[in-house]
Structure 1
Amino acid sequence: MTPVTGADRRNLFGQVPFMRLLEARREYSEGGRARLVIDARPELGNVIGAVHGGVLATLLDVAMASAAVSLFDFARTAVTLDLHTSFHAPGRGRLTADGEVVQHDAGIAWCRASVTDDGGRVVACAQGSFRYLPLPQAA
Structure 2
Amino acid sequence: MRDAWCARPGAALPAWHRALADPAIGDALRLLHEDPAHRWTVAALAAKVGMSRAAFAARFTSLVGQPPLTYLTGWRMTLGADLLRDTEATVARTVGYEDAFAFSVAFKRARGVSPSVWRRQCADPGATERGTAAEDR
Asked whether the two chains share a fold, i.e. TM above 0.5, the reply is no
Return the structure number with greater helix share: 2
Greater C-alpha Rg: 2
TM-score (normalizing by structure 2): 0.28
Return the structure number with greater strand share: 1
